[in-house]
C-alpha cells in the first residue's frame, strides 16, 4: 500500500483523521499548521525539522510550524489521551499489554533540553544524547504508541538557569526512568487501557521501586533481568519455618544475631540459578516466525522470591524464566522475572516476554520514517509536542494499513470500534501476537522503503 506524498492540498484521508485532534487548537491557522506538520512527517524528506518542513511544504512556513511547537497553546498529553481513546475503539481487540522502554536521540552541544552524557541502550554506549521513555500498546492484532516523556537528568533538574532557558515546567522534578515508567503506566490506565500486563526491558529489572510500584498497582509484569540480580529459590523459602531462631549463648561476649530466613536461605544470582537447572526442565520453545523460520530456544522456569535491599527477605514470588540457544546454535542467554501471571504456561510466558521487540520496530519506523529524533529545538514543550505529533502520524498509518482509507472517515468521537465489514478479522488465536500467519497485513511502502506501522511485517525482527 503506497503512502501518498505531501502536496499542495491536504491529503483527504489524513485531513479527516487529523481534524478532530486539530480541534484542540483554537485558531484556524494553528489547526492548519498541525495538519501540515503531520503531513510533513509522512513525507519523504530526509530531515523533518520544523524549518525543513516549512521550506518544503506548500501552504506553510518554518515560523508557523515552530510556533505550533513552542508558542501555540495546546497540551500534547491531551492529544495523546484523545488519540488513545480513538485507537482503543478502532485498533484494539483487548487483552493487550503495555510495553515500557526508552530510546536515545544523539545530540550535539548542551542546550537542547535534557541533553547530557548518559548511557543510551539505543546507542549502546555513554554519549551526548537525550533519552525518552515511552509506553506502547500491543495485542494479538494491533500495536500503537501511547505516550512519551523525556528523562531529565539530575544535572538538568537542579540547574535553574538551564531549566528556565529550556522552559522546563516548575512541576517537573528529577525522576528516575523507573519513576517515569510508572507515571506512563498510570497515564495508560487513566486513558482507558485495561492491560493484562506490563513488559519492561532489563534496564528496569534491577530497580526494586519499579517492581514494587507495579505490584502495588496489581499489574502483572514481565521484566528482563541481568545475570547479577539475586533471587531466592521458591522451594527453599516455602520449606523454611519462618521462625526467628536465637543461637545458643555461651554467656561471654555479645550474643549472636538472631537467625532469620534471610540467613538460612541466601539469595543467588540469576546466572547461578539458571546454571543449576537440571536438563529435564529445559524445553524447546518457538514463539514466532522469523525471516529464517520459527525462532526457537531452550527455555525453563523456576519459582523464585525477590530479594529485598541488602538481601533481606521479600514476600514477592514469581517465575524466573531462563532462555538459552539450542546446542550448536549461536545466541545469548536471557532471563526474565514474571509476577502475577501464574496461570500461563512456559510457552505463553515466553511469548509475552518476547512481545517487547514490537517497540523496537516502532522506534525504527518512527525515527527512520517519521522523524522522531529530528527535533532540533531546545524547549521542553516543543520536544513533547513533536513526539505527540509523530505518534499521531504513526497511529494514522496503523489505521490506514489495517483497514484502508475508509476507516479514517470515522471521527474519533464516534462510538463503536468494531472493524468495518470487509476488513480483515482478528486472528482466532489468543494473546500474545503469535498469529503472524493468521493475520498479516500488507506492508506500506514509501520512497522504496517498508513502513511497518501496526503489525505489518511482524514475522521478522529488526
251 inside domain: no
Tell me the pTM: 0.85
Q: What's the structural domain count of the chain?
A: 1
Residues 146, 188: contact at Cβ < 8 Å?
yes
Cell numbers at 324, concatenated: 538459552
What pairing do the DSSP bridges indicate for beta strands 313-324 and 283-290?
unpaired
185 inside domain: no
Whole-angstrom distance, CA of residue 392 vs CA of residue 408? 13
The answer to whether the Cα torsion of 108, 112, 115, 120 is positive or negative is negative
Whole-angstrom distance, CA of residue 200 vs CA of residue 204? 6
pLDDT at 357 over 70: yes
Question: Any bridge partners for residue 120, and if so which?
Answer: 125
337 inside domain: yes
- For 250, other C-beta atoms within 10 Å of its C-beta total 8
pLDDT at 195 over 80: yes
Cell numbers at 289, concatenated: 516466525
pLDDT at 435: 36
Which position has the grid cell 521542553? 380
Instruction: Tell me the percentage of the chain whose pLDDT exceeds 70.
Output: 80
Between vectors from CA 174 to CA 168 and to CA 176, what angle results, nearest 5°? 130
pLDDT at 83 over 60: yes
Longest CA pairwise span in the chain (Å): 93
> If you ran DSSP here, which 8-state letter would residue 252 be given?
S
336 inside domain: yes
Mean pLDDT over 307-332 rounds to: 91
The string of DSSP letters for 154-221 reads HHHHT-HHHHHHTT--TT-----HHHHHHHHHHHHHHTT---SEEEE-GGGTT-HHHHHHHHHTT--E
Cell numbers at 277, concatenated: 537447572
Whole-angstrom distance, CA of residue 237 vs CA of residue 320? 15
pLDDT at 166: 96
1 band by pLDDT with thresholds 50, 70 and 90: very low
- For 374, other C-beta atoms within 10 Å of its C-beta total 19
48 inside domain: no
pLDDT at 451 over 60: no
Out of 201-210, 290-299, 399-408, give the one with best mean pLDDT.
201-210
List the single range of 153-157, 267-271, 359-363, 397-401 with lowest mean pLDDT: 397-401
pLDDT at 450: 34
Region for 453 from its dihedrals, namely left if φ exceeds 0, alpha if ψ lies in -120 to 50, beta otherwise:
beta
282 inside domain: yes
List the single range of 111-115, 122-126, 443-447 with lowest mean pLDDT: 443-447
Q: Closest Cα partner for 84 from 20, 140, 143, 146? A: 146
Q: What are the distances in angstroms from CA 117 to CA 129, 134, 155, 163, 373?
A: 6, 20, 10, 17, 17
φ/ψ of 250, rounded to 5, equals -80, -10
Residues in contact with 435: Cβ distance below 8 Å, sequence separation at least 6, in sequence order = 140, 427, 428, 429
pLDDT at 442 over 60: no
pLDDT at 421: 39
Question: Any bridge partners for residue 143, and if so which?
Answer: 138
Whole-angstrom distance, CA of residue 119 vs CA of residue 152? 13
pLDDT at 117 over 70: yes
Question: For the chain, how are helix, strand and coil distributed in percent, rounded to 5?
Answer: 35, 20, 45
Whole-angstrom distance, CA of residue 251 vs CA of residue 357? 61
89 inside domain: no
Q: Which residue range is the domain that position 282 belongs to?
A: 224-244+256-355
Whole-angstrom distance, CA of residue 186 vs CA of residue 175? 15
289 inside domain: yes
Amino acid at each position: 500500500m503506497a503512502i501518498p506524498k505531501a502536496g499542495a492540498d491536504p491529503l483527504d484521508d489524513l485531513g479527516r483523521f487529523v481534524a478532530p485532534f486539530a480541534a484542540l487548537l483554537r485558531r484556524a491557522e494553528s489547526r492548519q499548521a498541525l495538519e501540515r506538520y503531520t503531513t510533513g512527517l509522512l513525507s519523504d524528506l530526509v530531515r523533518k525539522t520544523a524549518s525543513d518542513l516549512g521550506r518544503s511544504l506548500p501552504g506553510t512556513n518554518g515560523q508557523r510550524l515552530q510556533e505550533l511547537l513552542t508558542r501555540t497553546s495546546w497540551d500534547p498529553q491531551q492529544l495523546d489521551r484523545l488519540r488513545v481513546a480513538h485507537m482503543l475503539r478502532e485498533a484494539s481487540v483487548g487483552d493487550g499489554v503495555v510495553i515500557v522502554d526508552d530510546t536515545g536521540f544523539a545530540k550535539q552541544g548542551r542546550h537542547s533540553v535534557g541533553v547530557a552524557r548518559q548511557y543510551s541502550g539505543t546507542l549502546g554506549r555513554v554519549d551526548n544524547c537525550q533519552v525518552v521513555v515511552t509506553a506502547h500498546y500491543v495485542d494479538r492484532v494491533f500495536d500503537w504508541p501511547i505516550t512519551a516523556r523525556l528523562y531529565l537528568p539530575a544535572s538538568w533538574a537542579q540547574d535553574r538557569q538551564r531549566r528556565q532557558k529550556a522552559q522546563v515546567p516548575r512541576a517537573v522534578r528529577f525522576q528516575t526512568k523507573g519513576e517515569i515508567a510508572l507515571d506512563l503506566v498510570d497515564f495508560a490506565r487513566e486513558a482507558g487501557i485495561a492491560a493484562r500486563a506490563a513488559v519492561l526491558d532489563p534496564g528496569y529489572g534491577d530497580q526494586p521501586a519499579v517492581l514494587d510500584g507495579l505490584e502495588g498497582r496489581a499489574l502483572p509484569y514481565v521484566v528482563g533481568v541481568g545475570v547479577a540480580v539475586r533471587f531466592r529459590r521458591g522451594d527453599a523459602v516455602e520449606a523454611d519455618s519462618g521462625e526467628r531462631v536465637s543461637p545458643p549463648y555461651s554467656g561471654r561476649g555479645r550474643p549472636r544475631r538472631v537467625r532469620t530466613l534471610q540467613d538460612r536461605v541466601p539469595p543467588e544470582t540469576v546466572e547461578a540459578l539458571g546454571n543449576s537447572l537440571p536438563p529435564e526442565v529445559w524445553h524447546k520453545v518457538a514463539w514466532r516466525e522469523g525471516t529464517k523460520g520459527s525462532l526457537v530456544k531452550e527455555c525453563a522456569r523456576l519459582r523464585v522470591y525477590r530479594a529485598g535491599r541488602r538481601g533481606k527477605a521479600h514476600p514477592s514470588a514469581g517465575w524466573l524464566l531462563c532462555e538459552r540457544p539450542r546446542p550448536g546454535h549461536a545466541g545469548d542467554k536471557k532471563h526474565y522475572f514474571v509476577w502475577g501471571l501464574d496461570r500461563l504456561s512456559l510457552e505463553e510466558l515466553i511469548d509475552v516476554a518476547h512481545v517487547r521487540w514490537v517497540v523496537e520496530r516502532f522506534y525504527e519506523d518512527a525515527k527512520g520514517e517519521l522523524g522522531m529524533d529530528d527535533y532540533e529545538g531546545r524547549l521542553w514543550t516543543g520536544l513533547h509536542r513533536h513526539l505527540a505529533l509523530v505518534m499521531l502520524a504513526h497511529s494514522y498509518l496503523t489505521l490506514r494499513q489495517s483497514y484502508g482509507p475508509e476507516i479514517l472517515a470515522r471521527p474519533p468521537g464516534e462510538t463503536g470500534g468494531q472493524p468495518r465489514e470487509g476488513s480483515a478479522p482478528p486472528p482466532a488465536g489468543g494473546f500474545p501476537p503469535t498469529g503472524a500467519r493468521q493475520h498479516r497485513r500488507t506492508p506500506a511502502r514509501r520512497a522504496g522503503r517498508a513502513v511497518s506501522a501496526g503489525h505489518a511485517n511482524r514475522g521478522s525482527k529488526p
